[in-house]
Amino acid sequence: MIRFLRSKMTSLAESVATTPAQVPRVPIPPKGVDYRGKIVLAPMVRSGELPSRLLALHYGADLVWGPETIDRSLIGAERRVNPRNGTIEFTRMPSNGGRVEKAAKPSVIYRLDPVREKGKLIFQMGTANPDLAVQAAKVVAGDVWGIDVNSGCPKPFSTSGGMGAALLRTPDKLVSILETLVREVGEPYQIGISVKIRILETPELTEALVTRLVRTGITGLTVHCRTTPMRPRERAIRHQLRMVADVCHKAGVACLMNGDVTSRDHGLKLMEEYGVDGAMIAVSAEANSSCFRSEADGGLDPWRDVVYQYLKFCIESENRYGNTKYLLNMLIPGKVKEFKDAKQSKTYADVCRRLKFDDLVPAAMQLDEILDLTQKQELGDGEHSQAVSKAVQNAKENNESARAAGGGSSRPAKSNTTSTNNATTTTVDPSVPAAAEVSQQSSVAV
């Protein structure tokens, strides 16, 4: 009788384990977000600053990843609320290269909007060390809804530091980083920890890695469907995707797919086809963020409408002008006259006038004052113009390199002098790069 009852209970247990309702789920912490059913903006150095994230949300992105930020650049950063727009800024003092003639102003390393990004923002970190990861994560953990570890950056200066794609080859270290973050940041701050990986050469290798990662307590895993050596222009390969999703699901972890997803509708179709929980979009969003709007809701907006909205968010967020110009380069089609106009512009007021966004001009002029851009423009064709054309040239080079972010091999010349939101800084301590330098490095590394 006892044996009969035991066997009955065993078979009952087996059937319960396979019932969809009983599929395990890593609980989503109260301040965290579930990645399931979401079409999200990918982490993108340079292209993923606050105005771009607001633009993606404006057009319907469900969640937004911030650009990869290196752990060391955040440790010791100060948190302040910008009194003019309410954004939260993490800043640190640049070393100023030991120069005394120039008063140092704090550099903004990371900026977020606590209202418009509420419940939507995932912070992404570059790290190779559990202790540094925890220290850095604690700086922002109270202001974001998840912390993601970049484990896909293929560039040598990232991988040589053991970060990014190097972590795919050191699974013990990656597991330790994730477990430590879950325990020391995820639990006390009640947010989710996740990881973004690339596929490995064979399904077996990928499966072995993912099987370990999903046991760390993470709530989500994003898989970029390219191997580390693949260049970004090579088509994403999807034959490992269903397997990765299955491994995630067995452990109750949400699985996002990434690689050549072009729009919300495309993402939803791929989710159904491959059984993944959500989709992440990078370059298509960089070119036109209205890709987050479904055809049923109007589909792609014309570039002028997207650029108008983007500039509005840039002005509201007090975005660094160099960064704004960088993304304008992506958003305005190369063949239209306005492309050149935007490229030649030197201030917010200048670009708004050139693009005939007259209603934005008053606010643009105010921001130019705040960012000291007016004064720079008044310097005319002298020293500053040369500096600007050099910066534009650098931006062009970086632009190409950033596009190679999925695994291209080119690397731009690295400058020690970097322009930040409020000040031009020169870094002297190589172990703690200034924010913009980190950004510049990362932009070619991810």
Ligand X SMILES: Cc1cc2nc3c(=O)[nH]c(=O)nc-3n(C[C@H](O)[C@H](O)[C@H](O)COP(=O)(O)O)c2cc1C
Q: Which residues are catalytic?
A: 153
- Tokens in use for 241? 């995707």
Task: Give the one residue of 33, 40, 41, 42 binding ligand X; rule: CB under 6 A.
Answer: 42
Helix or strand (DSSP H, E) at 107: strand 107-112
Inter-helix orientation angle 171-181/130-140, to 10°: 30
SS3 call for 300 = coil
Alpha helices in 45-194 (DSSP H): 50-58, 71-74, 130-140, 156-159, 166-169, 171-181, 187-189
Q: Where are the beta strands (DSSP E) in 189-346?
A: 192-198, 220-224, 254-258, 278-281
Q: Of all helices (H) and strands (E), which one includes residue 354?
A: helix 348-354
Which range touches ligand X (CB under 6 A), out of 132-140, 154-162, 281-289, 292-300?
281-289
Q: Please identify which residue in the block is written with the tokens 């293929």.
A: 154
The correct pick among 63, 163, 281, 391 for binding ligand X (CB under 6 A) is 281
CA distances from 109 to 50, 57, 78, 239 (A): 11, 21, 10, 38
The answer to the question of residue 260 lying near ligand X (CB under 6 A) is: yes
Residue nearer to ligand X on the CB measure, 46 or 346? 46
Instruction: Verify binding: residue 259, ligand X, rule CB under 6 A.
Output: yes
In the bound state with ligand X, the residue whose beta carbon lies nearer, of 196 and 376, is 196
| Contact map string, positions 106 to 125, toward ligand X, x by CB under 6 A | ------------------x-
* 46 touches ligand X (CB under 6 A): yes
> Residues 125-154: x/- map of binding to ligand X (CB under 6 A)?
-------------------------x-x--
- Does 53 participate in binding ligand X (rule CB under 6 A)? no
Total residues contacting ligand X by CB under 6 A comes to 29
Q: Which is nearer to ligand X, 106 or 259 (CB)?
A: 259
Q: Which amino acid is at 442?
A: S
Q: Which two tokens stand for residue 125?
A: 């970190």
Q: Which is nearer to ligand X, 46 or 53 (CB)?
A: 46
What residues from 373 to 432 belong to the interface with ligand X (CB under 6 A)? Answer: 402-403, 405-406
Q: Which positions touch ligand X (CB under 6 A)?
A: 42-47, 67-68, 124, 150, 152, 196, 224, 232, 258-261, 281-284, 402-403, 405-406, 442-443, 446
